[in-house]
Amino acid sequence: MDFPTDFIRFLTSATRVAVLTGAGVSQESGLRTFRDAQTGLWAQYKPEDLASPEAFASDPKLVWDWYAWRREAIKGVRPNAGHYALVEMEHRIPEFTLITQNVDGLHRFAGSQNVLELHGNIQKVRCSNCGKFAEMWDEYTEQVPQCLICGGLLRPDVVWFGESLPRAELESAVEAARSCQLFFSIGTSGVVQPAASLAHAARNKGSVVVEINAEPTPLTPKVDFSFHGKSGSILPELVKAVWRI
């Protein structure tokens, strides 16, 4: 891919960069994106109808099993070249913040250090009553596993629709978006709020905004540079073009 010289020059000299990633970055690791049709048993449900406190309240076992199935699906999954290119960028840029909407843990798995998981992490499980994190649990049981301390039902440590994002992560993400020179939006449809507002916060503060996505999104008309294609190919090519590796 040919990158505009002014973009390469700007990224080469940038010292403060923020990146927002979505499910598209994990797609080439073999994980379906959030909008992709679910398969098998889950095809009859829309993710938004399972990823909510209401769904868990009305049928905790259904929601628990969906996350157990997703954890199973993630087991054999490895980061792809896009994840590793972002690790490389973090090594080369003095102030680099990786903000992710993904709950698959693949950025940390690849070696990214400064990661803000805005929507939590599916591999972590906590008590829906007292909030205590569970060390271990039975994935497939007749009943939803219960907290050893208070007996409350265990739930995945993710942010459901209608739930607030973790305050510290969100505040750090907003701070990074507002103070960066360059903001990347990568592999996200830019639909889910408040994550989707971060690119606008960056833009309003005069950052250069770059989108890398397989297809146009509502953000595309508002960015300074837009690259359409697979992040697993574009990101390694970008790292090579800037740092000759």
The set of catalytic residues is 119
Is residue 123 a contact point for ligand BV8 (CB under 6 A)? no
Q: Which residue is nearest to ligand BV8 (CB)?
A: 24
Select from Zn ion, ligand BV8, none the partner in contact with residue 97, using the beta carbon and a kind-dependent cut-off of 5 to 8 Å.
Answer: none
129 binds Zn ion (CB under 5 A): yes
Distance CA 226, CA 212 (A): 6
Distance between alpha carbon 135 and the CA centroid of its chain, in Å?
23
Nearer to ligand BV8, 134 or 192 (CB): 192
Nearer to ligand BV8, 107 or 119 (CB): 119
What is the spatial distance between Cα 79 and Cα 31, in angstroms, rounded to a whole number? 10
Phi/psi class of residue 244: alpha, beta or left (left: φ > 0; alpha: ψ in -120 to 50)?
left
Q: Is 235 in the site for ligand BV8 (CB under 6 A)?
A: no
CA distance 199 to 99: 11
Amino acid at 119: H
- CB 205, min distance to Zn ion, A: 41
- Residue of 150, 175, 216, 218 that binds Zn ion (CB under 5 A): 150
61 part of the interface to ligand BV8, by CB under 6 A:
no
Which of 104, 115, 102 has its CA nearest to residue 74? Answer: 104
Which of 19, 174, 205, 188 has its CA nearest to residue 97?
Answer: 19
Write the single-letter amino acid at 150: C
- Which residues here bind ligand BV8, judged by CB under 6 A? 22-24, 27-28, 33-35, 48, 51, 101, 103, 119, 158-164, 187-189, 191-194, 213-215, 217, 230-232
- Which residues here bind Zn ion, judged by CB under 5 A? 127, 129-130, 132, 147, 149-150, 152
